[in-house]
Chain A
């Protein structure tokens, strides 16, 4: 951390007391459905985006509003099918081809957190993300519906899986906000969505006069592409890495 120019490296003498055990990268549930569903997930999201792109350009508000329930269900299914919920013991390696003992037993233990995750996303993160979008330059006096729906999609892609996996522990969320969680496909997807939203703003000022340069099409595409890219990169390429700023 001491790579600042002109300064002698100072050894970090007193590491901060860690009240929280170092978070480990999230592992997927170990059954063939999870694996399949987890890999189908980005494909479905991206093909959905590609299929509805023209409608999105024509009528962003209507298209985004109609797509939102679909995304909610998709994200709930993803959490339900692929991810270990809060407090659940890390999945034990099992023989993939052996049928799980009693799938119906933990149905409730997985469905309820999935439902709660989506509920928290809608009530907590979407309003917060709306504010963040405004802070980062989204129009305030016009296009409110556009921005709210953009925040909704950003929130839906970035947060339910975090709620599902990490629960409501403020300390974990502080770690998530300060980029201190280890990268995995859950966190990668969240970061990817946020970064994608930021990069999605790049083409707007160009003088190409295309319909799709209108708010919020490019940002939304950035969110989706970023989320899927982040999920794949975080889940496979850089799994377990940690972001260090200095």
Chain B
């Protein structure tokens, strides 16, 4: 028996070690690391040579860059400013529209590449690079003091760094490596708005700055007035207290908050657009009127758009189409302002450009070297008129040389030179049409052609052709997949799956649960290849779960066994427990509408509760009451005296309720509406961080008391008293923690979960009161049940496979200064609350406990103990080969973990294979890569950390056998 057990344990351990390895290997192939060119770009020899002809440069009277039309920049970011808010007939930004008609403002629709969340978009708008999906993780996990390769852009070339250097008069020599800034406190750059920028450009980067937080999306006004109130003084002529700035950057969050809260058609949306229009007018009129702002360029830009539901993150309609406007009295190209978008588009009113194009355009207009990692292409509409033909040509050449630098860095200078030389002959004879060898060859040919045309007619067109080709090729990551690595990742995950399957002590003949687990894993795997099923994954779990429940009921009927006695003396088959299970399941799946297809359809949390908020709070209080009762009846039972247990539970639950009330008032005031005003007034002195900390500290203290107390007590208890396992004692504490991490409308779901758990405890009871078979024969059904319900509850709580459904609202509970570990844990607990809950519930189901009245009798328990001892001696006495691996072969928990490992590894194989095979699919960045990120979170967070880690701890603590 021992060797067999050792073998299965080793296989299982190895399978679980391979999982993170597979994830890592695959991720490095799927999300290739893009080298970031270090340092700030400077003027190089070619720039000098080029400029010399125009009378700029050393020796000439004008310094490099001084001939630029502007020397100051106002960069106004409005979060989620979709094109139609500015340009459409439904928009309310009339002043901007009038400037467009006059010709003083030049409009674009700027394509925001997914992920359309703020941090990667700000990176694109400032560095001109194309942030990948790894930046998305950093968006949620960017930390202070992390290295430059992480979230920060302090050391990365950007127009901010360039303007700062220029504005502060720091070294501007050849090469660009020199001229390190020495942390000046001068007013080089000024920033007000979303503190994402302060995380990206930390320390002394800005001369003056004040951040606003997008923590509570219910804040529509304060976040914006906190920005606008600084503007009048910033627009005054410079003084000793407020030195001159080179760039004034603002980032308004209110419009995004309104979108998240009420959607793009919400009642506060149009007033907010008018407010933003008024801010823009304030800026523009100051530039017009004030002499010191004469050479100031104003840029109005949305970092991303929003979809019909007001959310963003993916590439749905509207999410990728923010507005972009360049404005200055110097522009004079009147144009028509169409009220309707172009034919066949929803949000394209003007030419569609890339967000990164802002970067070289600013470099041309403000006279600084194009930032090193930019993939942007200068915008002719903006630059050509002001720079003149010669200046425009020079700018194009600068832009092209800089992009060539990026291409060279990727390919290697040798290879690039070779490619270009290969095409020099060809372009002399003709163009580059028909170069079908590959994107690198095409770029090389276009470059060779542009070089060949230097100074001739058609050069500008040739340079633009090269620039757009390079932008296209370098932005799409398709060419840079490392397919062998992806294959290796799949193979490792496949190995993990095989090992996990082999770790089952018995494979044949299959059991009902075994077949069901195979079917669920197999179907899930197939489903991962269909984008609509990935988007609508909840349907799979909503569809399989009731079928499994019905099968459990049928099995219970077939087995017969003990019946369920009702209070009135009647007894019914235990299979009837399937009715409350199915009913609660049905109710849960209407709680939060999720998925893409019917996003925004009415549901309990978003349609019913806002109209019936008192009912919601009653359900919430009922849930807290249940948790309190469980704390009294299981957690503290026997550890504390009965009165002490009740009062401790009360003292724990009360601050949790108060925190939930205050948090909801801040996060979703429409669900509070004057309820508990006295309580809120009474606790107003304590901020939310402190309130959450009170709850968490209480939980930690209670956990300590329960662990110490129950261990001490169990030593003293006689076998006659029914023991409560430690897992049972800790479960209510975990529930209270998860409830704290859950939005108020979802709190009553825990009531339903508890109902389901108690039904399962009875439904999964074995037919015969055989102590040996109890947990073992039920381990696999329990594993499958907890898997199905973990997934179901994840979606029922509002989760989905879309980035926009990540709920950040509870991730900062009790966290004052940014702490990546704490926020990560809270974020996961908040979004996977139901799934984490079921991990713990599964352990309590697995552990034998006195459940039915017959079994809890003392005599029966004595019999159980005797029987168990006898079986153990029997097993020890029999030969190992004779199948004596029953009791000792694998514990129920091992079987449980084997099952969840099989599913985790199997689903990973499928997701990875889908991402590899469909890597050229249209939806790869919008559906499949977010799914991969979610699969990572499920495999690492849910399976490895919670199911294996926490489950192991709970099982070990509860170790009764």
Contacts and interface: CB of A to CB of B under 8 A. Distances in A.
Given A5-B514, A136-B546, A246-B512, A205 B533 contact: yes
B777 A245 contact: no
A1 B681 CA distance: 63
B530 interface: yes
Contact of B895 (A6, A206, A208): A6
Nearest to B506: A5
A4 B539 contact: no
B430 interface: no
Nearest to B533: A205
Contacts of A5: 504-507, 511, 514, 776, 779-780, 890, 895
A52 interface: no
A144 to B, nearest CB: 15
A97 B586 CA distance: 55
A4 B773 CA distance: 9
Contacts of B560: 16
B886 interface: yes
A7 B886 contact: yes
A108 interface: no
A180 interface: yes
A8 B888 CA distance: 11
A131 to B, nearest CB: 9
Interface of A: 2-10, 16, 134-137, 140-141, 174, 177-180, 198, 201-202, 204-208, 244-246
29 contacts: A3-B506, A4-B773, A5-B511, A5-B779, A6-B505, A6-B506, A6-B776, A6-B886, A6-B895, A7-B773, A9-B883, A10-B770, A135-B582, A135-B585, A137-B589, A174-B557, A178-B557, A178-B558, A178-B575, A198-B547, A201-B539, A201-B543, A204-B539, A205-B532, A205-B533, A205-B536, A206-B533, A245-B555, A245-B558
B885 interface: yes
Interface string B589-605: 11000010100001000
A201 B575 CA distance: 25
Given A6-B779, A137-B589, A245-B554, 9 more contacts: A6-B505, A6-B506, A135-B583, A137-B543, A201-B539, A205-B532, A207-B597, A208-B532, A246-B511
A7 B531 CA distance: 41
Q: Is the interface of A mostly helix, strand, loop or mixed?
A: loop
A134 B586 contact: yes
B958 interface: no
Contacts of B583: 135
Given A5-B511, A6-B890, A177 B590 contact: no
Q: Which of B555, B583, B777, B779 has the most CB of A within 10 A?
A: B777
B191 interface: no
Nearest to B514: A5
Interface in B527-579: 530-533, 535-536, 539, 542-543, 546-547, 551, 554-555, 557-560, 575
A137 B506 contact: no
A214 to B, nearest CB: 12
B14 to A, nearest CB: 19
Contacts of B886: 6-8
Contacts of B508: 3
A245 B512 contact: yes
B777 A7 contact: yes
A142 to B, nearest CB: 10
A64 B695 CA distance: 57
A3 B889 CA distance: 15
Contacts of B772: 7
Contacts of B530: 206
Contacts of A198: 543, 547
Contacts of B777: 2, 4, 7, 246
